[in-house]
Amino acid sequence: MSWVTDENAALFTDLYELTMLQAYYREGLDTAVATFDLFVRQMPGRNYLLACGLDTVLHYLETLHFSQEALDYLASLGRFDADFLEYLARFRFTGDVYAIPEGTPVFAGEPLLQVVAPIGQAQLIETFVLNQITFQTGIASKASRVVTAAQGRLVADFGARRMHGADAALKAVRAYYIAGIQATSLVLGGQLYGMPVTGTMAHSYVEAHPTEEDAFRAFAGLYPGTTLLVDTYDTLEGVRKVIALCKEAGDQFQIGAIRLDSGDLATLAREARRMLDEAGLAHIKIFASGSLDEYRIAELLAQGAPIDGFGVGTRMGTISDRPYLDSAYKLSEFEGEGRMKLSLKKANLPGRKQVFRFYDENGYAAYDVIACHDEQLEGGEPLLRCVMRGGQRTEAGQDTLAAARERARQGLARLPERLLMLEEAVPPYPVRISERLQALGEAVRQRLMHQET
């Protein structure tokens, strides 16, 4: 059996990170200080991204080590020398990390994370750091759109069953929490992240009883105020049975909501609402699920569907319209000198950086400027903070999930409204490059082109 844990996470790395590390070690370069930037190259048809995943990365960096089992496996590959394996046995992450805090709206080109560390260390961590930040940022950004589309109605995560593996489902819960989702059905997510857990009933429960009424009666008896799933056989027939049971059993049959999970949700919700209201059951809410995402929710609400809450699963959980971000982790400085790739369309900006956010007179974010790390841009809010120094979290690195959620809430409230629409904003949010950083980029490009020709 195989899980990724703190014990084996050091091997959650691409082989070339280790072969390069051994090369640096042999060449005596492994302790030379490098800066790597983690950024998203292009916005994936989103108006903003929500930074997410930092806490997972910091924990990984704090606990990173090679177990004896890991070293034995590496030895078995025949590519690593004994003294390098001894070096790995002592390996710890001792670098500094600068990051934009979780929950902050961010944009293409902005370093979400900047790692300043001996190059061997900064290189080794690439695979894991990209994996977690890419996924968590991607899914937090998706969830934020779903929350916005629901216009304040309850949104619950129902996604675990069709997501990409167990870690995705679990880490999504923390991303969802930050993005403003109210509850999850994944119990482990509740335990580990303090997210409220929620759930209704499955069709199988109804089917395992002689009749739908028997199932409703038994479940509501045990869980007063519960939500009953009414579409196992015939949705409106199910609603009628709920109404009959409410009339017949009175206080013995208290339910909070019904759930619709198939069919034309808008029409069924309207009809169910009418039936419940006419029966004097206006307090029973309508909860909908089944192939929902931000587009479908917006459509349902535009149709005036009287739905009070949404269970959102697979499409949000697999980020199905944009299943990945074009993220990159690139060397930007080595031994104090700016570095960059020149490859067509994949060039990056050299040097250590800071991102400044500027607000207009009404307090809305107006534009960002990516600058050199030691620039002071008056009136701009610096977004990158030192979250780890010498391998230890700073105070800024001890952010809570609640703080990140509140930061997301406030950050979104300060975005211009066109960015909160589901369609692509015109114009997109402006991200500028400071003059000094542009000049540095030009100088490094010139230097590299001369030296390489």
- Residues of span 260-319 touching a copy of itself by CB under 8 A: 261-263, 314-315, 318-319
Tell me the C-alpha distance between 56 and 60, whole Å. 6
Per DSSP, 111 falls in state -
Q: What tokens does 148 get?
A: 């916005």
Tell me the C-alpha distance between 41 and 110, whole Å. 9
Interface pick for a copy of itself out of 83, 86, 89, 211 (rule CB under 8 A) = 211
| Cβ neighbourhood burial of 427 (10 Å; 0-12, 13-18, 19+) | exposed
Interface pick for a copy of itself out of 14, 83, 86, 442 (rule CB under 8 A) = 14
Residue 359 makes contact with a copy of itself by CB under 8 A: no
- Judged by CB under 8 A, which stretch of 14-22, 373-381, 408-416, 426-434 contacts a copy of itself? 14-22
Confirm if 32 and 119 have CB atoms less than 8 A apart.
yes
Alpha carbon distance, N-terminus to C-terminus of the chain: 52
Confirm if 138 and 178 have CB atoms less than 8 A apart.
no
Confirm if 145 and 89 have CB atoms less than 8 A apart.
no
Q: Which is nearer to a copy of itself, 392 or 410 (CB)?
A: 392
Name 191's Cβ contacts closer than 8 Å, sequence gap at least 6: none
Helix (H, G, I), strand (E, B) or coil at 183: strand
Interface pick for a copy of itself out of 42, 83, 92, 207 (rule CB under 8 A) = 207
Beta strands in 362-427, from DSSP E residues, in sequence order: 365-372, 381-382, 385-389, 392-393
Size of the site for a copy of itself (CB under 8 A): 121
Residues 58-97 binding a copy of itself (CB under 8 A) are 59, 63, 70, 73-74, 77, 79
- Judged by CB under 8 A, which stretch of 255-263, 356-364, 382-390, 391-399 contacts a copy of itself? 255-263
Residue 388 makes contact with a copy of itself by CB under 8 A: no
Interface pick for a copy of itself out of 18, 257, 258, 370 (rule CB under 8 A) = 18
What are 260's strand-pairing partners? 288
Residue 451 makes contact with a copy of itself by CB under 8 A: yes
Residue 182 makes contact with a copy of itself by CB under 8 A: no
Interface pick for a copy of itself out of 87, 91, 223, 367 (rule CB under 8 A) = 223
Residues 110-169 binding a copy of itself (CB under 8 A) are 119, 123, 126-128, 130-132, 134-135, 139, 158, 160-169
Minimal distance in Å, beta carbon 177 to a copy of itself?
Answer: 12
Confirm if 52 and 38 have CB atoms less than 8 A apart.
no
Q: Which is nearer to a copy of itself, 179 or 186 (CB)?
A: 186
Residue 197 makes contact with a copy of itself by CB under 8 A: yes
Confirm if 316 and 293 have CB atoms less than 8 A apart.
yes
H or E element: which one contains 256?
strand 255-260
- Judged by CB under 8 A, which stretch of 96-104, 195-203, 354-362, 417-425 contacts a copy of itself? 195-203
Q: Which is nearer to a copy of itself, 263 or 391 (CB)?
A: 263
Residue 13 makes contact with a copy of itself by CB under 8 A: yes
